[in-house]
């Protein structure tokens, strides 16, 4: 036992002695001024940008390495003078076998906490476009200079480059360009390979929003690429986030707030300059929240949707999903979604199909509109809008059918509510066959049908038809969603005849003019209009 212990102690002493000798000898093996010049020159030649660092030191543990302090890679002069890349410490590991032979050869490189500035100019160029890709020709142009560790080839032959906890900021320059809200943090990226192919894997987080992104089986093909941004790229990408509220809010604004967890599996393709991403994304339980002064307490209301599935989602400068599906209260929504992020978020909903959607979930529970109706909605068509000004930029066309249902809103603030009030007012004035309950309780209707065209938030219809047991109301004209301005021609069939009128002004204080030719009998136009206006005032209470 004692003999074994002596052997252990002896071996330990030898190891300690070797480590001490190595610690003393390593700085002598690595001639720091020579290595410093070699590193800076080789790196500059490899990437086509000046590379500098303030100081260099040699470390023995955990592996022999050269540490570069306050390292900077210069920016393309056309994009400014601030560094393209800056970091406190870069570590270049040395090949131990070469060191023991008295030569310096580089192994892996680790860049700790680098700060990378990605800039896009007004004409769409990126500052990384002028980086020179590694090529076989460069390595071949420096044969036979690796001996003694003095040549540039030693720096060029690197087995691995690792980025540890990096940060990437993205800046768009040009007249009218808004500061981009997004940045990449906690970038961990490992690059391996040499020659014509570069392999990569890693992870990062997109802020704000804390969206976790993982990269696997990544490959960049450098062979034949005239510039680094022309190099083909591919990888598997997975995304996951506990809540997208901050992520969406940074692009579309804080209200309405869109929240919920997100998860997706994607494939990366295209080139480094024009990447394409495709795959499937799902928001498990999205919620839309906003504060509305028109609502009774609580003012802050939330609309809950079923799982939002983005099938066949792709991004190549704009986001597309064919189809996008979700549900509200048992009703289904399907559409082909396209979103562009240039100068704000612009959304297009093509092939929009809504089936049996209970509109009261939106109009009554969420928006709290006085004109609200309740009933199942079927709609087909298309819509588009800018997220920053939804009502004034809304456009599209289609056809709808609503009902059977009820008019439940207390005010004449929109088309359906106003038409119901007019029809009720005319019938009460001329025939007395519709009781005053029209103004005090929900009104049943069989259906509301028609086609529509929307341009810059103005809805135009030529064939909207409100049908109930008491009356039918045909509508043709324009209605402004944001302003409430209306210019509508009405044909009201109240059972004993047809009355024609024009509705103008705004939803809060509409003006009605009755066509005298459509009024028969001894009832005057003034009496009819007076009765209509009186009932409209009662609705507005």
Q: How far apart are CA 298 and CA 309, in angstroms?
A: 30
Are the CB atoms for 501 and 512 separated by under 8 Å?
Answer: yes
How far lies 415's CA from each of 412, 422, 442, in Å? 8, 11, 16
pLDDT band at 379 (very low <50, low <70, confident <90, very high): very high
Query: Which residue(s) pair with 498 in the sheet?
Result: 493
| DSSP code for 63 | S
Query: Which residue(s) pair with 130 in the sheet?
Result: none
**What is the pLDDT at residue 345?**
77
Q: How far apart are CA 309 and CA 324, in angstroms?
A: 6
More confident residue, 241 or 492: 241
**What average pLDDT score do residues 281-292 get?**
92
pLDDT at residue 33 is higher than 90? no
pLDDT band at 540 (very low <50, low <70, confident <90, very high): very low
Tell me whether the omega of the peptide bond preceding residue 208 falls within 30 degrees of 0, making it cis.
yes
More confident residue, 376 or 514: 376
Q: How far apart are CA 285 and CA 243, in angstroms?
A: 10
pLDDT band at 535 (very low <50, low <70, confident <90, very high): very low
Q: Which residues contact 152 (CB under 8 A, 6 or more apart)?
A: 38, 41, 42, 45, 142, 145
| DSSP code for 298 | P
**What is the pLDDT at residue 133?**
47
pLDDT at residue 513 is higher than 90? no
Terminal Cα distance for the chain, rounded = 101
166-201 tens-digit pLDDT: 999 988 887 666 677 789 999 999 988 766 888 999
270: exposed, middle or buried (Cβ count in 10 Å: 0-12, 13-18, 19+): middle
**What is the pLDDT at residue 19?**
44
E runs forming strands in 51-141? 51-52, 55-59, 65-73, 85-94, 106-112, 115-120
**What average pLDDT score do residues 267-288 get?**
91
pLDDT at residue 538 is higher than 80? no
Angle of helix 525-539 relative to helix 415-430, nearest 10 degrees, comes to 130
Which H helix or E strand runs over 325?
strand 318-328
pLDDT at residue 49 is higher than 60? yes
| DSSP code for 146 | -
Q: Which residues contact 463 (CB under 8 A, 6 or more apart)?
A: 450, 451, 474, 476
pLDDT at residue 337 is higher than 90? yes
How many CB atoms are located within 10 Å of the residue 124 CB?
9
* Best-predicted range by mean pLDDT (21-35, 461-475, 490-504, 514-528): 461-475
pLDDT at residue 414 is higher than 50? no
202-214 tens-digit pLDDT: 999 999 889 999 9
98-156 tens-digit pLDDT: 555 555 566 788 899 999 999 988 887 888 888 764 444 344 334 444 344 333 333 34
The residue count for the chain = 541
**What average pLDDT score do residues 252-269 get?**
90
pLDDT at residue 3 is higher than 60? no
Give percent of the chain with pLDDT exceeding 70.
Answer: 71
**What is the pLDDT at residue 104?**
55
pTM comes to 0.74
pLDDT at residue 351 is higher than 80? yes
**What is the pLDDT at residue 172?**
82
E runs forming strands in 115-241? 115-120, 160-172, 183-192, 197-207, 211-221, 233-241
pLDDT at residue 282 is higher than 60? yes
What is the rounded average pLDDT for all residues in the chain? 78
Tell me whether the omega of the peptide bond preceding residue 247 falls within 30 degrees of 0, making it cis.
no
**What is the pLDDT at residue 139?**
43
**Reduced to 3 states, what is the DSSP secondary structure of residue 416?**
helix
Which strands make up the sheet holding 373-374, listed edge to edge? Answer: 373-374, 405-407, 443-445
Are the CB atoms for 284 and 310 separated by under 8 Å?
Answer: no
pLDDT at residue 246 is higher than 60? yes
**What average pLDDT score do residues 240-244 get?**
94
**What is the pLDDT at residue 431?**
45
* Best-predicted range by mean pLDDT (172-176, 287-291, 370-374): 287-291
């Amino acid at each position: 036992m004692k003999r074994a212990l002596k052997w252990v102690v002896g071996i330990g002493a030898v190891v300690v002695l070797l480590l001490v000798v190595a610690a003393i000898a390593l700085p002598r093996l690595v001639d720091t001024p020579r290595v410093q010049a070699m590193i800076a020159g080789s790196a500059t030649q490899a990437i086509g940008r000046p590379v500098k660092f303030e100081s260099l030191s040699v470390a023995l543990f955990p592996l022999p390495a050269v540490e570069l302090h306050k390292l900077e890679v210069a920016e393309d002069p056309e994009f400014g003078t601030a560094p393209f890349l800056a970091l406190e410490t870069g570590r270049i590991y040395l090949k131990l076998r070469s060191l023991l032979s008295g030569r310096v050869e580089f192994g892996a490189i680790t860049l700790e906490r680098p700060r990378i500035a990605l800039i896009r100019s007004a004409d769409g160029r990126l500052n990384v476009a002028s980086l020179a890709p590694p090529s076989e020709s460069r390595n071949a142009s420096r044969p036979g200079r690796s001996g003694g560790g003095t040549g540039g080839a030693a720096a060029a032959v690197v087995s691995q480059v690792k980025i540890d906890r990096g940060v990437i900021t993205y800046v768009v320059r040009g007249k009218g360009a808004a500061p981009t809200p997004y940045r990449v943090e906690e970038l961990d990226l490992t690059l391996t390979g040499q020659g014509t192919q570069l392999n990569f894997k890693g992870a990062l987080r997109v802020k704000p929003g804390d969206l976790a992104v993982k990269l696997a089986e990544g490959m960049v093909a450098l062979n034949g690429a005239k510039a680094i941004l022309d190099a083909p790229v591919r990888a598997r990408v997975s995304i996951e986030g506990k809540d997208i509220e901050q992520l969406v809010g940074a692009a579309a604004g804080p209200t309405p707030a869109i929240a919920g967890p997100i998860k997706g599996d994607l494939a990366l393709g295209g080139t480094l300059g024009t990447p394409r991403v495709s795959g499937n994304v799902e928001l498990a339980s999205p919620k839309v929240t906003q504060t509305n002064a028109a609502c009774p307490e609580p003012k802050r209301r939330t609309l809950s949707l079923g799982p939002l599935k983005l099938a066949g989602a792709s991004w190549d400068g704009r986001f597309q999903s064919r189809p996008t599906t979700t549900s509200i209260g048992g009703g289904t929504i399907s559409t082909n979604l396209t979103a562009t992020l240039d100068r704000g978020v612009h959304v297009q909903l093509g092939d929009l199909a809504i089936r049996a959607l209970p509109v009261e979930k939106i109009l009554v529970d969420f928006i709290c509109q006085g004109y609200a109706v309740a009933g199942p909605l079927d709609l087909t068509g298309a819509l588009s809008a800018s997220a920053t000004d939804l009502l004034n930029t809304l456009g599209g066309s289609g056809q709808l059918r609503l009902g059977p249902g009820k008019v439940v809103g207390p005010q004449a603030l929109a088309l359906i509510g106003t038409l119901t009030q007019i029809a009720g007012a005319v019938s009460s004035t001329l025939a007395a066959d519709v009781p005053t309950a029209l103004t005090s309780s929900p009104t049943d209707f069989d259906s509301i049908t028609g086609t529509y065209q929307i341009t810059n938030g103005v809805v135009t219809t030529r064939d909207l038809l409100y049908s109930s047991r008491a009356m039918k109301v045909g509508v043709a004209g324009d209605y402004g969603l944001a302003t409430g301005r209306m210019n509508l021609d009405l044909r009201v069939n109240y059972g004993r005849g047809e009355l024609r009128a024009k509705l103008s002004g705004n939803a809060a204080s509409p003006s009605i003019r009755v066509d005298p030719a459509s009024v028969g009998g001894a009832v005057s136009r003034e009496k009819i209009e007076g009765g209509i206006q009186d009932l409209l005032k009662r609705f507005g209470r």
